[in-house]
Structure 1
Amino acid sequence: MAQSLDRLKESPSQTAGPYVHIGLTPNFCGIGGVYESDLGSTMVNGETRGERIELRIRVFDGAGAPLKDALIEIWQADANGFYNSPAELRGAADPSFSG
């Protein structure tokens, strides 16, 4: 008897961008002078306030196979609820946090 295949619901596809890997990690890709350090290379330091959390994420294709080249974009507020963004008008974000 044939066994039915459980299909995973696929999320919508998106083209690469606004940051392809070169835009995220120009120093790693040998392109200097764009950023002092690559985005996300240092998110917290000893002065960063707030609770530390760790995310472990796996992305699967529609057949259930894990993807090796998926990009997950997250944006998290600092311990005071402020975002590191020019659009943040409520106050200054913690300079020792880039989440």
Structure 2
Amino acid sequence: MTDSFKNIINTSTPVLVDFYADWCDPCKALAPVLKEVKSEMGDEVKIVKIDVDKNQNLANQFQVRGVPTMMVFKDGKQLWRQSGVLSKNDLIRKIKSY
């Protein structure tokens, strides 16, 4: 795990990490949903997008086998993980539960 990634996820604010690929159609469908989540939640959440093709070591480390895969981290710990596209409301509920 890179130091910069450790720094990003080691906060008391929940961090939603989206592992995606440019060639992935469901990833493209998820992008506007993530924008809506961010605009609704503001500073309550950080959203970070990780391109699996450019960050293969990180994707391997978290055993990302399919994209999109989303994870929520808080204080450096992974609290949740799911592959696929979720609705804005489902994502907001998930993030707020942490």
Same-fold call, TM cutoff 0.5: no
Higher helix proportion: 2
Give me the TM-score of the superposition, normalised by structure 1. 0.24
Q: Which entry has the higher C-alpha Rg, 1 or 2?
A: 1
